[in-house]
Each structure stands twice: as structure tokens, then as C-alpha cells.
């Protein structure tokens, strides 16, 4: 099902993940947006886990640190919206960013407002 990353207002990038997330799909979405609209300055990341059912079982996820090595210093805060049952997995994935908050589905508007603060 995959991942897509889009620029929004207020220096927010929205990462929408659906279904079973594969690392190569996540990397492709990030690379596509970075090529189109380079990460200029600091961003706020809104992760929307819409119909998310988990991460593909793969050793590739062990190297997720490469994402945070490349972009982590540019991310000021992450707001994650998803089903409460996925909170631990999704926040663990993003724990390298010091300002992080989880919002239960479907509180996308509340997450956007928090990211603007």
C-alpha cells in the first residue's frame, strides 16, 4: 500500500502511511519529495497512519538510523496520528526526534495545530 510525503503549509511535511509499510516504499516517498522540494530549514513532520497494519518484517528496518542521520537534524517535531494499538511501534520508529506526540485516530486537525505551535 505504501507511503507518500507531501509538503503542506507552515513548513509541515505530511507522511501518509497505509497498509503494510515496506522500508523501500518509505525511502522512495522521502527521496521523491526531497528531490522535488528539498528539506530547507527545519520542518515539522505529520505522520498519518491511515489503514496502517504494521511494518513489513525485514532486516532492512534495522538500518532506519540512516533516515535520521540524513534528516533528523532538520526535524523539529513529529506529530503522529494513528490507531491507539500502533502507538508504541510508531513512536519507537520516530523516537530519535526529541519533540514527539501521538494523537489517536482521527485527530489529524489537532496534530496539525500542535505542529504549528
Domain CATH for 35? 3.40.50.10600
| Residue 107 to residues 39, 80, 91, 112, 113, Cα–Cα distance (Å) | 26, 10, 16, 9, 10
pTM above 0.95, yes or no: no
Pull the grid cell for residue 74. Answer: 532538520
Letter string b/e over residues 14-40, b meaning 16 or more CB atoms within 10 A of that residue's CB:
bbbbbeebbbebbeebbeebeeeeebe
Q: How many domains does the chain have?
A: 1
Query: How far is residue 111's CA from residue 43's CA, in Å, rounded to a whole number?
Result: 14
Looking up cell 505522520, which residue turns up? 47
Reported as a single tens digit per residue, the pLDDT across 60-93 is 666 665 666 666 677 889 999 999 999 998 888 7
Q: What is the pLDDT of residues 2-35, one digit of tens each?
A: 899 888 888 899 999 999 998 888 888 877 766 5
Domain that residue 6 falls in: 2-116
Q: Which of 56, 40, 43 is nearest to 3 (CA)?
A: 56
Amino acid at each position: 500500500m505504501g507511503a507518500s510525503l507531501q509538503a503542506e503549509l507552515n513548513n509541515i511535511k505530511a507522511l501518509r502511511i497505509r497498509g503494510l509499510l515496506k522500508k523501500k516504499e518509505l525511502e522512495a516517498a522521502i527521496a521523491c519529495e526531497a528531490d522535488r522540494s528539498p528539506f530547507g530549514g527545519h520542518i515539522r513532520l505529520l505522520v498519518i497512519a491511515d489503514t496502517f497494519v504494521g511494518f513489513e518484517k525485514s532486516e532492512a528496518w534495522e538500518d532506519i538510523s540512516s533516515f535520521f542521520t540524513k534528516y533528523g537534524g532538520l526535524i523539529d517535531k513529529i506529530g503522529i496520528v494513528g490507531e491507539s494499538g500502533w502507538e508504541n511501534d510508531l513512536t519507537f520508529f520516530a523516537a530519535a526526534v526529541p519533540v514527539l506526540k501521538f494523537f489517536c485516530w482521527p485527530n489529524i486537525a489537532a496534530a496539525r495545530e500542535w505542529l504549528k505551535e
